[in-house]
Structure 1
Amino acid sequence: MSRSARLVPSAAAVLALALTGSACDGGVHGTPGGSGVRDPYFPKAGNGGYDVTHYALTLDYTPDSGHLTGKAVITARATKALSAFDLDLAGLDVDSVTVEGKDARWNRTGQELTVRPHDDLGKGETFSTTVRYSGTPKTLTDADGSEEGWLETDDGAVALGEPVGSMTWFPGNNHPSDKATYDIKVTVPKGLKAVSNGELTSQSTQGGRTTFAWHTAQPMATYVATVAVGPYKITRSTGPHGLPVLTAVDPTQVEASAKVLAKIPEIIDWEETNFGPYPFSSTGAIIAPSDAFDYALETQTRPVFPGATDTSTLVHELAHQWYGDSVTPKSWRDMWLNEGFATYAEWLYEEDNGGKSAQETFTELYEDDDEAVWAFPPAKPSSAAHVSDSPVYERGAMVLQKIRQKVGDDTFYDIIRGWAAAHRYGNASTADFTAYVEKAAPDKDFAGIWKDWLYGDGKPAHP
């Protein structure tokens, strides 16, 4: 108990308490939550003071005009007493904001939508914010030149969010460290499909427009949320243990995609053997028009591809469902925990299917003298423009092979399965991973691997 709590308040203090609201009358004194979570590469991403538990998004999109109307109902828990909080929203026009059903004041500065609720929010309080918005969603160009956000196609659109593009189509706490469940309802002109994450819970047509409702029951980071609008062909099948598989394929890509997509059940079965039980309640893929964008993305339960893909890339993006989507990095500095693992999954799949062993792939990379692989350590990308460069992928995978060399196959597979289980649906950092490995094999010394392969500059002297 503080010293002041034992004193009799002065008349001035009593008046001040009466004017501002006090603990005596149930009032809450909050402070602003703050913008950004100080991510080392994307400092404006995310916001402080609250944790989102659920997004309910209701969208209406017309491809001919490019116009999007949206309502976001965001359920969150205050992690401190709040007088204001920020949401990330780039572009689009805000029509209204309410908190707990009461009109809230708000203002915009760049990507920050600052909300001032009618009443301050207490620490630990669960609250609901409703944002109504509209306009033409933006496409963002990243520091590495790639495009993300809301990407228009000839007859629809695809929403891609890595690293920050989700804020172009819904307001939120746009950082991997804050995961939530989702309901995404999308209305489009009749004849088009709207595909998203999770399971399709309803579909209805009225007045020449069709509404698709999707539900994601397991926690999902904003950057792996997606919507794809277009004349997609929907195919349903089942995977291991009756797992629902749903694929959505652009009509121009149906024939070219059929053979690879048919492998999804077999790939999931192989990955379960290596990585543990599949973490989500459905799986599948979205094959977008080939000219829509130029990279694949591990959107949760349903990875997105620019046109027909190959088996190796499909293995990679499905492996992300364990490493990246279920076990999500605490910050973008930990990106190699996504990409190094998914790249290593490609190596293992080739090893188990009559191709090169992972060790042979490792040795070829080491001896190839490709300077790009050694440009920076996988755990310390040189800048935001390079978080998706070769060291994060290939050298990240090489770290895993070095661990495998050190501990042997039995312990190694225990480690990668155990890691996925220990942090299932959560977030983890590189420090969490190294500590997990050291605890799993306490009789081994990993200092050299961390120093030379994970954090060290340049090419290690010995493979």
Structure 2
Amino acid sequence: MLSSATALLSAVLLAAPGAAGAGDPYFPLDGNGGYDAQHYTLDLGYAPATGQLRGVATITAKATQDLSAFDLDLDGLTVRSATVDGRAAGWRRDGNELVITPAAGLRNGRTFTTVVTYDGLPQPIDDPEIGASGFLRTDDGVTVAGEPHAAATWFPVDDHPSDKAAYTFRVTVPNGRSVVANGLFAGKAAHPDGTTTWTWNAADPMASYLATISVGRYDVTSYDRDGIRFTDAVDASLDGPTVKAARTGQRMAYSGAEVPAYKRLTHTVDVPAGGATLSFGAVLETADTGYLMVEAHTVGQDNWTTLPEQSGLTFDYAGELCHDLDTHPFLAHYVSQQPDGTCSPDGTTGHWNGQSSFNYGGEFGDWTIDLKPFAGTKTEVAVTYLTTVPQPDEDSTPRTGVYLDDIKVSTGHSDTSFENDGDTWDGWALPPAPAGSRANPGTWRSLTAARLPMSATGQIAHASFAREPEMLAFMARSFGPYPFDTAGGIVSPALFDFALETQTRPTYNTGFFGWQDIADSTVVHELAHQWYGDNVSIKQWKDTWLNEGFATYAQWLWSEHEGRTSAQGQFDYSYSEIPADDSSWNTPLADPGADGALGGAVYGRGAMALQALRMTVGDSTFFKILKTWTAERSGGNGNSHDFAALASRVTRRDLSGFFTAWVFSAGKPPYPGGSGPNAKVTAGPPRHGLPGLLPTGRTVRY
């Protein structure tokens, strides 16, 4: 017989500190041992003006051994106090470890609650692979996003994906700011001091690096569809116009965004014998088939040409313009189709010069045009916005057009800033489109910034988010039911160079919303992570292909669904274009090294391995494997060996040879079936190079 007193003494003698790491070979001190975190309640106060964070972290955990002490990961910040089960606990800092010593030992299997009070200025992580990440301040708030390290920069945590937990976020910020986080919105409460507390509950198990908050001025949209609560947050500045203010005065000239269009703003100039210059401010947000150009001809003569911008802002590359001669016959003055199929920038009377761009931002760029070619003549000058219908291989993303202000001619005549002063255009004319072109649906307009359309980036982001229900329904057919009860996304103004699959609400930087098809594909990638990476997380960081390869493969499936390159075409192109001596084959897919855990190979090779498996086992069995993986490990973790074993079990085949070649070994595997890619589908990459196809020399971050 063993008395209770003897048993207690024995437990005390056997109690030991939990390990300072989770045992991950890539990041040995990430995570901790001795307990299983079950729930985090984060009561935070954030001051955007100073960046100061105040926090109280309440952590419910279950001991997995007899504990005399245990660690939490915490990077910087100042700890003020710690308690365990309501009793003051000892604590000390050891690098990025916060070592907690409870007043009494904790028995194996006991559930206990730790409360840590802390504050400070969280610092972003400067990662040589992905740049700035972690706690990222913005002009009006903050966004948290980072992988593999981020969580420990803003709260004490068992920071490893093997220990998933539920979260409650209660974040207090100044009035006028919104807070968006993981999970479901649970309400907000205003306080007399001019602050508001926002509460979000993320009830499903979540890896710590997927926890996020975004504080700032956001346009937040919520709705229910197919039993899922969608909440999307877009930086409010994107909902406004690209151009925030006129260059001078209150108004500017705006082209509109119609396609096709040929909109001229013309004036007749007496160019002196010594020449003259035309100058103006311009902001371009044009489609790939939209241009700003300056045309000119001598009055009474058909010697039309386009004139180059003096600092090199225009180009004389004619591209696909010859395909548009039927739409705009007048372009024959500037371009001509050559026998070899190319388009020459020389036409019947003149030469092509134009600019197509959406990289100006909202600031007016200075354009200067030399009128010397028309020295000593009466010259009609046209500042022209031209759009054509995209060809099948051209981007069809709609954009907002061209903005002009402060047109000046060096002779001192013909100046205008488009003000509503009784003579808005100051002698500049708005003629119809040239003969042969379709009538313009509108013309140049004089507008204030308040009347301009939403920025193209904002329109693209909203359009992509509007397709989230469609995307989830599409992926559910291949991956099984969507695993959570809420979904959505955050487009943040923070300066970071990636998108991250923060659970239920992925976080994006604005740069992903430059082209509609790339934006849609990126959203598909992050939503696919909700199955692969979030619901089923990896056990160690060496298995990131189970996250990134699967999400990239979802993009391949979406591309095929959208009528573009098929998954087989993506595979064949990649297999053909990545030679056997390419560095992307240098390490096993399931062990790429710490520096390669988020490198391009785990994306592209990971997707290729999945398509190769599909080619080996057949469509029906392949998708059964994917659905079984998410069903059996829902809310948990897995590794490459687990996935290989499941595939063999589902197929009732020994697939060890396949997984040895494609997952567990370095080197380029043989083409599945041994025949090689079909030449019919290897003509070129998908438009804009969807991720994972060209890993050589390129790191892709999603």
TM-score band, normalised by shorter chain:
over 0.9
Residue from 378, 402, 418 that aligns with 2:612 = 402
Alignment partner, residue 563 of structure 2: 354
Q: What is the rounded CA distance, in whole Å, between the counterparts of 2:151 and 2:131 in structure 1? A: 15
Alignment partner, residue 573 of structure 2: 364
Amino acid at match of 1:35: A
SS in 2 for 1:42: coil
Alignment partner, residue 74 of structure 2: 89
Amino acid at match of 1:59: L
Alignment partner, residue 507 of structure 2: 304
Alignment partner, residue 153 of structure 1: 138
Q: What is the rounded CA distance, in whole Å, between the counterparts of 2:61 and 2:669 in structure 1? A: 46
Residue from 261, 270, 278 that aligns with 2:482 = 278
Alignment partner, residue 267 of structure 2: none
Alignment partner, residue 67 of structure 1: 52
Alignment partner, residue 9 of structure 1: none
| 1:423 is the counterpart of 2:633 | yes
SS in 2 for 1:28: helix
Alignment partner, residue 125 of structure 2: 140
Q: What is the rounded CA distance, in whole Å, between the counterparts of 2:169 and 2:145 in structure 1? A: 15
Deviations 1:256-280 (A, max 9, x none): 3111111111101111111111111
SS in 1 for 2:634: coil
Alignment partner, residue 118 of structure 1: 103
Q: What is the rounded CA distance, in whole Å, between the counterparts of 2:61 and 2:196 in structure 1? A: 30
Query: How far did 1:418 drift?
Result: 1.0
Q: Is the 8 A contact 1:66 1:136 kept in 2?
A: yes
Equivalence map 1:411-450=2 (5 Å)? 411-442=621-652, 444-450=653-659
Residue from 199, 218, 226 that aligns with 1:232 = 218
Q: What is the rounded CA distance, in whole Å, between the counterparts of 2:8 and 2:540 in structure 1? A: 40
Equivalence map 1:10-409=2 (5 Å)? 22-23=6-7, 28-29=12-13, 30-206=15-191, 207-239=193-225, 241-254=226-239, 255-256=458-459, 257-289=461-493, 292-307=495-510, 309=513, 310-369=519-578, 371-381=582-592, 383-409=593-619
Query: How far did 1:143 drift?
Result: 4.6
Query: How far did 1:456 drift?
Result: 1.9
Alignment partner, residue 10 of structure 1: none
Deviations 1:112-150 (A, max 9, x none): 000000000000000000000000001112352522221
Q: Which runs of 4+ in 1 moved over 3 A?
A: 24-29
Amino acid at match of 1:235: T
Query: How far did 1:28 drift?
Result: 3.3
Deviations 1:406-442 (A, max 9, x none): 1111111111011110100001111110000000011
Query: How far did 1:165 drift?
Result: 1.0
Query: How far did 1:372 drift?
Result: 4.6
Query: How far did 1:377 drift?
Result: 2.3
Amino acid at match of 2:476: E
Q: What is the rounded CA distance, in whole Å, between the counterparts of 1:106 and 1:189 in structure 2? A: 32
Deviations 1:275-310 (A, max 9, x none): 111111100000001x52110000000000001530
Q: What is the rounded CA distance, in whole Å, between the counterparts of 1:69 and 1:181 in structure 2? A: 21
Q: What is the rounded CA distance, in whole Å, between the counterparts of 2:10 and 2:574 in structure 1? A: 64
Amino acid at match of 1:323: Y
Query: How far did 1:160 drift?
Result: 1.5
Q: What is the rounded CA distance, in whole Å, between the counterparts of 2:645 and 2:7 in structure 1? A: 43
SS in 1 for 2:115: strand
Query: How far did 1:27 drift?
Result: 6.2
Number of positions where the alignment pairs a residue of Structure 1 with one of Structure 2: 443
Alignment partner, residue 677 of structure 2: none
Alignment partner, residue 696 of structure 2: none
Q: What is the rounded CA distance, in whole Å, between the counterparts of 1:321 and 1:242 in structure 2? A: 16
Q: Is the 8 A contact 1:177 1:330 kept in 2?
A: yes
Q: Is the 8 A contact 1:166 1:225 kept in 2?
A: yes
Q: What is the rounded CA distance, in whole Å, between the counterparts of 1:188 and 1:24 in structure 2? A: 47
**Bigger Cα displacement from structure 2, 386-395 vs 247-256:** 247-256
Amino acid at match of 1:396: G
Q: Is the 8 A contact 2:227 2:485 kept in 1?
A: no
How well do the aligned residues superpose, as a CA RMSD in angstroms?
Answer: 1.8
Q: Is the 8 A contact 1:372 1:390 kept in 2?
A: no
Query: How far did 1:404 drift?
Result: 0.4
Q: What is the rounded CA distance, in whole Å, between the counterparts of 1:232 and 1:306 in structure 2? A: 14
Of structures 1 and 2, the larger Rg is shown by 2
Amino acid at match of 2:656: A
Q: What is the rounded CA distance, in whole Å, between the counterparts of 2:185 and 2:59 in structure 1? A: 20
Alignment partner, residue 279 of structure 2: none
Q: Is the 8 A contact 2:22 2:30 kept in 1?
A: yes
Query: How far did 1:447 drift?
Result: 2.9
Q: What is the rounded CA distance, in whole Å, between the counterparts of 1:269 and 1:27 in structure 2? A: 52
Q: Is the 8 A contact 1:161 1:225 kept in 2?
A: no
Q: Is the 8 A contact 2:168 2:200 kept in 1?
A: yes
Query: How far did 1:22 drift?
Result: 4.4
Q: What is the rounded CA distance, in whole Å, between the counterparts of 1:264 and 1:151 in structure 2? A: 26
Q: What is the rounded CA distance, in whole Å, between the counterparts of 2:600 and 2:10 in structure 1? A: 55
Query: How far did 1:24 drift?
Result: 5.8
SS in 2 for 1:248: strand
Amino acid at match of 1:208: G
Q: Is the 8 A contact 2:536 2:637 kept in 1?
A: yes
Structure 1: runs of 5+ lacking an equivalent: 6-16
Q: Is the 8 A contact 1:253 1:287 kept in 2?
A: no
Deviations 1:176-215 (A, max 9, x none): 0001111011011100011100011011111211110000
Q: What is the rounded CA distance, in whole Å, between the counterparts of 2:125 and 2:157 in structure 1? A: 17
Q: Is the 8 A contact 1:28 1:120 kept in 2?
A: yes
Q: What is the rounded CA distance, in whole Å, between the counterparts of 1:229 and 1:132 in structure 2? A: 21
Query: How far did 1:380 drift?
Result: 1.1
Query: How far did 1:391 drift?
Result: 1.5
Q: What is the rounded CA distance, in whole Å, between the counterparts of 2:531 and 2:180 in structure 1? A: 21
Query: How far did 1:26 drift?
Result: 8.8
Alignment partner, residue 446 of structure 2: none
Q: Is the 8 A contact 1:56 1:183 kept in 2?
A: yes
Q: Is the 8 A contact 1:52 1:77 kept in 2?
A: yes
Amino acid at match of 2:215: V
Q: What is the rounded CA distance, in whole Å, between the counterparts of 1:275 and 1:408 in structure 2? A: 16
Q: What is the rounded CA distance, in whole Å, between the counterparts of 1:94 and 1:217 in structure 2? A: 27
Distance 1:27 1:288, change over 3 A: same
Q: Is the 8 A contact 2:85 2:113 kept in 1?
A: yes
Deviations 1:197-247 (A, max 9, x none): 0011011111211110000111111010001011011001223x2311000
Amino acid at match of 1:284: G
Structure 2: runs of 5+ lacking an equivalent: 240-457, 514-518, 673-702
